Amino acid sequence: MSDKFENDLRDHLHKEAEEIREFPRQLRGRIREGITPRTRARMAPQLALAGALVLVAFAVLAVRSPQVILNDVRSTVTQIFTTQSPSPSPTPQPFICSDRSGGTTGLSGQLTGIRVAHHGEAPGFDRMVFDFAGGIPSYDLTRQESSVFVRDASGQQVTLAGSAGVKLVFRDADVQGVADQKFDLPAVREIVQLGNFERVLSYGIGLTSSQCIRVLELTGPSRLVVDVITAPTASATAAPTPLPTLPSATDLTPFSCQDHGGGSDTGPAMRLTAVRVAHQPAGYDRIVFEFAPQPGSTAHVPTYTVSRQASSKFVKDPSGLDVTLKGSSGVRIVFHGASGADSYTGSRDLTPGLPVVQEVEQLGDFEAVLSWGTGLSRPSCIRTLELSNPTRLVIDVQTP
Amino acid sequence: MGASKTSPVHGGASVYTIGMLMDPALGRVIERCRDGDRDAFEEVVDRYGLQLLRTARLILRDQALAEDAVQETFLRAWQRMGSLRDEDPGPWLNRIAMNESISAYRRRHRFQALTERFGRFGGGQHEVSSEQRLDLAHALDRLTTEQRAAVALHYYQDLSVEDTAKALRVPVDTMKSRLKTALRRLRDLTGSEEIPA
């Protein structure tokens, strides 16, 4: 039978374990990368065979007509290389009503074209093909219940054709000569580049309505395929996940009553330099985390998760001690690849007493995992914005 | 309880119970994995990943190291998917994850492992005076990796002693002894009194 100490131990282990709120997207990407066959490795034996055959062909050149030999060599090599044809269309995968991530972390890609077309075969879908030179870089695809997007860097709002959207962000990617496009397809209405800054390339896609999607990563040439289902019954049968409410006219992006995540893990830990909290008359309390890169490294918003919770009680990292902030509910913000230990000189416990945000306190700064807790006067929906110059994560908490 | 004991895991609906009997839908996912379907394997990652990562983090006390161990776990699982028959992949993944976690810790902390070994054979563990009583988090840091793995599986995943022994590939009696030693050490470090049975 367990005694009090064993029960305490059990509780402690659960609290400590639950500091990890979700499975990190980067880790998911790394695993995906690890199980994806490497085209170059597969090509190596075939290239070696082609080379050997060429050498053999030239060795017998002296005893045969040169033209005949050249034709033989050309046809042999052509035959070998035709086995490296583009990857065939894979077995159709189900359409999924959730966000997707993938690509190859650390791989640099150049977007060379975007092609869009409707496919009539069941269940009917619009297909967007993003062609890449050099492989498919790491990407995040996020569905949204609005066609309103925010341009990177400038923060300007842009409304695309349609009533719903998908945001596609590529990391370590560049683009040249790919223009924005409008379509009159059943699902896809517009594709607009939202940003191309510091090798983070983002696109907004305007859709006629919120629909389920499927994503395929194909090789030879590298291309990311995004299919949006168009069948009229599809949304009903596939039961899309609830999406954030639409933004009011004054909002930049919709508030969402769900957890948020984003940022990128592209270099050394970012240094936290400021934390600001203020109420905005448009109907929200704003929390800003400002970062600076380490000397010689690239600025980026570190990978983060913003998790809502039903109480204002938090567990501090790594001590496991409880701390209860002002208010009755809370938001936990965790950055991976960030620290304020040597760079942040401000207060680590702010009590602004705003309509909703009551207290903002640092919960931990350990091994480049930086976490803060926010005590709220009431459960509220949130939105996040990643801004640059300077690098900031903005968290807006909706007020009544 | 026997090896088939399910292991109710605290912590919310998102945490999958490792050790449950395999449901037919999961069986179909595993079948697709065996056929090389990477999307199906991602479903397995989604289902078990968080639980494995949390357990590895408890053992390794280091987020990055835990992520590496879980990554290796799934890559090995993918390579060996053909060897998984009609069984719940949970305990199987757990066994791989434990092996990877302990190996990862040893690779990272070769020197510390050496001192742990010397400690075991030599002068014993450094004792903590009553003035130096630690909280549980720091006391867990002071256990050996094998002890932490046993504690994490038994007290966090709620595995039976038998299943914990199986996951860590040691005899049941060894596991009983390991858990008892770990618990005594934690009590000593935190200054907690043992309540007589």
Write the CB contacts of A325 (distance below 8 Å, at least 6 apart in sequence). A312, A313, A314, A358, A359, A361, A373, A374, A375
Query: In this predicted structure, what is the pLDDT of residue B111?
Result: 53
- Domain B110-192 CATH class label: mainly alpha
Nearest neighbour of B136 by CB, restricted to A23, A320, A367: A320
| B136 neighbourhood in chain A, CB within 8 Å | 8-9, 12, 320
Distance CA B19, CA A311 (A): 31
Q: Is B55 in Cβ contact with A27 (below 8 Å)?
A: no
Q: Which of A129-143, A319-333, B10-24, B108-122 has the lowest mean pLDDT?
A: B10-24
Query: In this predicted structure, what is the pLDDT of residue A93?
Result: 61
Q: Is residue B19 over pLDDT 70? A: no
Sign of the dihedral defined by the CA atoms of residues B73, B75, B76, B77, in that order? positive
Q: Is residue A318 over pLDDT 80? A: no
User: Is B168 or A368 the better-scoring residue by pLDDT?
Assistant: B168
Within a domain: A119: yes
Residues A227, A265, single domain; the answer is no
Distance CA A304, CA A314 (A): 17
What is the per-residue pLDDT across A146-183, written as a single tens digit (0 to 9) for each? 888 888 767 778 889 888 889 898 988 888 778 888 88
Closest Cα partner for B92 from B19, B162, B23, B21? B19
Query: Which positions 155-174 of B are in contact with A (Cβ < 8 Å)?
Result: 155-156
What would the mean pLDDT of A232-252 be, rounded to a whole number?
Answer: 39
Residues A62, A138, single domain; the answer is no
| B147 neighbourhood in chain A, CB within 8 Å | none
Write the CB contacts of B162 (distance below 8 Å, at least 6 apart in sequence). B1, B2, B3, B5, B172, B175
The answer to whether B2 touches B161, Cβ cutoff 8 Å, is no
At A388, is the secondary structure helix, strand, or coil?
coil
What is the per-residue pLDDT across B136-180, written as a single tens digit (0 to 9) for each? 889 998 999 899 999 999 999 999 999 999 889 889 999 999 999
Query: In this predicted structure, what is the pLDDT of residue A229?
Result: 83
Within a domain: A134: yes
Query: What percentage of chain A carries pLDDT values higher than 90?
Result: 17
| A93 neighbourhood in chain B, CB within 8 Å | 39
Distance CA A258, CA A22 (A): 13
Query: What percentage of chain B carries pLDDT values higher than 70?
Result: 72
Q: Is B64 in Cβ contact with A20 (below 8 Å)?
A: no
What would the mean pLDDT of A258-281 be, rounded to a whole number?
Answer: 84
Query: In this predicted structure, what is the pLDDT of residue A397?
Result: 92
Confidence band (pLDDT; 50, 70, 90) for B69? very high
| B194 neighbourhood in chain A, CB within 8 Å | 3, 5
Q: Is A22 in Cβ contact with B50 (below 8 Å)?
A: yes
Task: Give the containing element (helix H, strand E) for A28.
Answer: helix A25-35
Which CATH number does the domain B13-108 belong to among 3.30.960.10, 1.10.1740.10, 3.10.20.30, 3.40.50.12160?
Answer: 1.10.1740.10
What is the per-residue pLDDT across A197-225, written as a single tens digit (0 to 9) for each? 778 889 999 998 877 888 888 877 788 98
Sign of the dihedral defined by the CA atoms of residues A200, A291, A337, A157, in that order? negative
Domain boundaries, position A344: 260-398
Nearest neighbour of B11 by CB, restricted to A17, A318, A319: A17
What is the per-residue pLDDT across A24-81, written as a single tens digit (0 to 9) for each? 888 888 898 888 765 444 445 555 666 666 666 556 555 555 555 555 545 444 444 4
Query: In this predicted structure, what is the pLDDT of residue B70?
Result: 94
Calculate how close chain A gets to B21, using CA atoms only, in Å. 23
Within a domain: A68: yes
Please state the domain extents for chain B.
Answer: 13-108, 110-192
Closest Cα partner for A322 from A289, A294, A364? A364
Q: Is A23 in Cβ contact with B46 (below 8 Å)?
A: yes
Sign of the dihedral defined by the CA atoms of residues B114, B117, B119, B121, in that order? negative
The answer to whether A150 touches A157, Cβ cutoff 8 Å, is yes
Q: Which of A234-238, A394-398, B121-125, B188-192 has the lowest mean pLDDT?
A: A234-238
Q: Is residue B59 over pLDDT 90? A: yes
Confidence band (pLDDT; 50, 70, 90) for B114? low
Confidence band (pLDDT; 50, 70, 90) for A289? very high
Nearest neighbour of B49 by CB, restricted to A16, A23, A319: A23
The answer to whether A365 touches A285, Cβ cutoff 8 Å, is no
| A8 neighbourhood in chain B, CB within 8 Å | 136, 192
Distance CA A362, CA B85 (A): 47
A248: exposed, middle or buried (Cβ count in 10 Å: 0-12, 13-18, 19+): exposed
Calculate how close chain B gets to A29, using CA atoms only, in Å. 10
Within a domain: A343: yes
What would the mean pLDDT of A346-358 be, rounded to a whole number?
Answer: 89
Q: Is residue A241 over pLDDT 80? A: no
Query: In this predicted structure, what is the pLDDT of residue A103?
Result: 83
Within a domain: A4: no
| pLDDT averaged over every residue in chain A | 78
Query: In this predicted structure, what is the pLDDT of residue A234?
Result: 34
Within a domain: A244: no
Q: Which of A75-89, A118-132, A179-193 has the lowest mean pLDDT?
A: A75-89
Distance CA B158, CA A290 (A): 41
Residues A232, A184, single domain; the answer is yes
Which pair of tokens denotes residue A63?
Answer: 């005893």
Query: In this predicted structure, what is the pLDDT of residue B16?
Result: 43
Calculate how close chain B gets to A319, using CA atoms only, in Å. 6
Calculate how close chain B gets to A115, using CA atoms only, in Å. 24
Calculate how close chain A gets to B47, using CA atoms only, in Å. 10
How many Cβ pairs closer than 8 A exist between chain A and B?
A: 99
Q: Is A20 in Cβ contact with B63 (below 8 Å)?
A: yes
| pLDDT averaged over every residue in chain B | 77
Query: In this predicted structure, what is the pLDDT of residue B98?
Result: 92
Write the CB contacts of A34 (distance below 8 Å, at least 6 apart in sequence). B71, B74, B75, B78
Please give the full DSSP string across A339-386, using - where no structure is assigned: E-TTT--S-SEE----SSEEEEEEEEEETTEEEEEEEESS---EEEEE
Residues A176, A71, single domain; the answer is no
The answer to whether A398 touches A356, Cβ cutoff 8 Å, is yes
Q: Is B50 in Cβ contact with A20 (below 8 Å)?
A: yes
- Tokens 């991602």 belong to residue: B42
Query: In this predicted structure, what is the pLDDT of residue B14?
Result: 37
Q: Is A369 in Cβ contact with B137 (below 8 Å)?
A: no
Q: Is residue B43 over pLDDT 80? A: yes
Query: In this predicted structure, what is the pLDDT of residue B6?
Result: 33
The answer to whether A133 touches A110, Cβ cutoff 8 Å, is yes
Within a domain: A20: no
In order of A234, A242, A334, B140, the CA distances from A127 in angstroms are: 16, 23, 36, 52
Query: In this predicted structure, what is the pLDDT of residue A33?
Result: 82
User: Is B184 or A83 the better-scoring residue by pLDDT?
Assistant: B184
What would the mean pLDDT of B6-20 be, rounded to a whole number?
Answer: 38
The reply to whether B110-192 shares the fold of B13-108 is no
Amino acid at B194: E
At A233, is the secondary structure helix, strand, or coil?
coil
Residues A125, A201, single domain; the answer is yes
Q: Is B10 in Cβ contact with A20 (below 8 Å)?
A: no
Q: Is A239 on the interface with B (CB under 8 A)?
A: no
Distance CA A382, CA A361 (A): 18
Evaluate whether ipTM surpasses 0.85.
Answer: no
Chain A, nearest residue to B72 by Cα: A31
CATH for A144: 2.60.40.3500
Query: What domain count does chain A have?
Result: 3
Query: In this predicted structure, what is the pLDDT of residue A54?
Result: 61
Residues A65, A175, single domain; the answer is no
Nearest neighbour of A20 by CB, restricted to B53, B186, B194: B53
Q: Which of A38-52, A350-364, B4-18, B93-107 has the lowest mean pLDDT?
A: B4-18
